Amino acid sequence: DVKVTQSSRYLVKRTGEKVFLECVQDMDHENMFWYRQDPGLGLRLIYFSYDVKMKEKGDIPEGYSVSREKKERFSLILESASTNQTSMYLCASSLPAMFVQFFGPGTRLTVL
Amino acid sequence: QKEVEQNSGPLSVPEGAIASLNCTYSDQGSQSFFWYRQYSGKSPELIMFIYSNGDKEDGRFTAQLNKASQYVSLLIRDSQPSDSATYLCAVNSEGTYKYIFGTGTRLKVLA
């Protein structure tokens, strides 16, 4: 079974803090993704990576950066957290030919 | 702007009935179509994917794709209360890694 894990299920941070969200997958998938999910807006892609050190912006990259130093790990960084970044953050991974994405359990981030 | 549309619901069906969930998409280049189930507070889990026109069956679930009309649907036969969840439709365009997600339809199966 594909396993995608995320470093925290719940996180509470203060405005202006630097926040790291980590995602690890154990199936040797090339592609990894970060989404945020908000009520009424659905899932929106923040960034994705198709290989180590390779990344592309998604639909809402502003205020976020990512890092992929190893194939199995994809980190999302909020450089200076703001209250409008309070959301559920979901990581996913996939093989390039399959296009099927497998999701981690999610991190519910609250920025106060 | 590529879009995927779903009725937000809730769609309420009695236990044992067929639940029909629909999704329309705007990008004619869409090639792959996915249905995910998401329980409240949990992450999406894949139910089915379909690439070709027609029906694809897996147990109680049937996905139907009509590319000419640009819609994809999910039928759940013999609905159970445990099927109560939000169902997300996702669409992938040829040659891209990106999904476009709908906002989901909330299904309630009444015991």
Residues 4-23 of A with CB under 8 A from B: none
How does pLDDT run across A25-58, given as a tens digit for each residue? 998 899 999 999 998 888 999 999 999 989 999 9
Q: How far is CA B90 from CA A26, A44, A55, A74, A109, in A?
A: 24, 11, 22, 22, 24
**Contact state of A43 with B43 under an 8 Å Cβ cutoff:** no
Higher pLDDT residue, A89 or A98? A89
Share of chain A above pLDDT 70, in %: 96
pLDDT score for B2: 74
A2 in contact with chain B, both atoms CB, cutoff 8 A: no
Maximum distance among all alpha carbons in chain A?
41
DSSP per position, B16-49: TSPEEEEEEE--TTEEEEEEEEE-TTS--EEEEE
Residues in CB range of B109: below 8 A, 6 or more apart: B12, B13, B14, B15, B17, B19, B79, B80, B81, B82, B83, B84
Compute the CA torsion angle A30, B98, A78, A2 (nearest 10 deg): -40
Chain B residue with minimum CA distance to A5: B43
pLDDT score for A85: 98
**Chain A residues within an 8 Å CB radius of B40:** none
How does pLDDT run across B38-91, given as a tens digit for each residue? 999 999 999 999 999 999 999 999 999 999 999 999 999 999 999 999 999 999
